[in-house]
A = this chain, B = another copy of it.
């Protein structure tokens, strides 16, 4: 199996196929830890992991914090509002100061694309990108791969439909790259105003025939619609979006019988998908959440613990 040589996790694009598989394999053993009665291993005892989140995100922050704690690392939470960032300090300066305190990793979410890369270049500490702007969200892609593989046994040869606001979605970007890398066929769909020009260059197909996508997909990955996009005039109306791109029980009748419904959360029930579908038999949305902790444990372990 591949050896892990990276200091940081900035994007899935930096990972070789075998490295992705190493993460997934490592995550498998950690998933078992969270299912135990005593959900804790001493792998990262005495390490310090800082969560530096400058956007609201309970879900991802909690997932990383749990991952770190179950590996016995110490965790520190810093939110943009209360941090020195509010005093006008740059993120890099904040990060340099954290590094001077001998922390081992910074898990960062930031509204500007590329900020994690800047930190990674200047620091010896490990930087983990927990979502930067519209660019990348590598642990989301990794946990999606993990979930698909767990449910369907493979990734190569599968048809994956990714539907929604592709333009602003770091989840779509990271997933298109990772899925095609592992041999899946990805088709993206969504309002034409929210479809980035040249997305085909990432290896994805574009289609506006939602029914065809539903019929042909092994996996439907529905993206969260940012409601403020409507005010930005990208959308005629939420209702129109739900009608054209939303997935409900009726629409799913034409789907393959073992289709997987995925969503990075939080869902807008009644918009991207109906409540019935979100909670229904094809949905693996909560499996994604469960696997998220395991994948993040794997990433933290490979970055901090596996280096002897």
Between A and B, 5 residue pairs with Cβ closer than 8 Å are A38-B46, A39-B46, A62-B76, A62-B98, A101-B292
Contacts of A267 in B (CB 8 A): 89, 93
Residues 33-74 of chain A: 1 if any B CB is under 8 Å from the residue's CB, otherwise 0?
A: 011111110000111101000001111001101100110001
Nearest residue, chain B, Cβ from A99: B286
A253 close to B (CB within 8 Å): no
- Given the interface contacts A97-B286, A102-B293, does A57 sit within 8 Å of B84 by beta carbon? yes
For the complex, is A262 an interface residue (Cβ under 8 Å from B)? Answer: no
Contact yes or no, A56 B87, CB < 8 A: yes
Total interface residues on A, CB under 8 Å, equals: 55
Extra pairs beyond A63-B101, A89-B267 (5, CB < 8 Å): A40-B46, A58-B82, A66-B74, A100-B287, A101-B289
- Is the C-beta of A103 less than 8 angstroms from some C-beta in chain B? yes
When the two chains form the complex, which single residue of B46, B86, B97 contacts A289, counting CB atoms closer than 8 Å? B97
Query: Is A280 at the interface (CB under 8 A from chain B)?
Result: no
- A293 CA to B102 CA in the complex, in Å? 9
A265 sits at the interface (CB 8 A): yes
A183 at the interface (CB under 8 A from B): no
**Is A168 an interface residue when CB atoms closer than 8 A count as contact?**
no
Interchain nearest-CB distance for A289 vs B (Å):
4
Interface residues of A (CB under 8 A from B): 34-40, 45-48, 50, 56-59, 62-63, 65-66, 69-70, 74, 76-79, 82-89, 93-94, 96-98, 100-103, 227, 265-268, 286-287, 289-290, 292-293
Q: Is there contact, CB below 8 Å, between B79 and A82?
A: yes
Query: Does B37 lie within 8 Å of A266, measured CB to CB?
Result: no
- Which residues does chain B contribute within 8 Å of A62, judged by CB atoms? 50, 76, 78, 98, 101
Q: A290 and B102: CB pair below 8 A?
A: yes
A97:B45 contact, CB within 8 angstroms: no
Q: Is B45 in contact with A40, judged by CB distance below 8 angstroms? A: yes
Q: A56-B83, A267-B93, A286-B96 are in contact. Are A66 and B48 (CB under 8 A)?
A: yes
Q: Which B residues are CB-close (under 8 A) to A103?
A: 66
Partner of A84 from the list B46, B59, B102 (CB cut-off 8 Å) is: B59
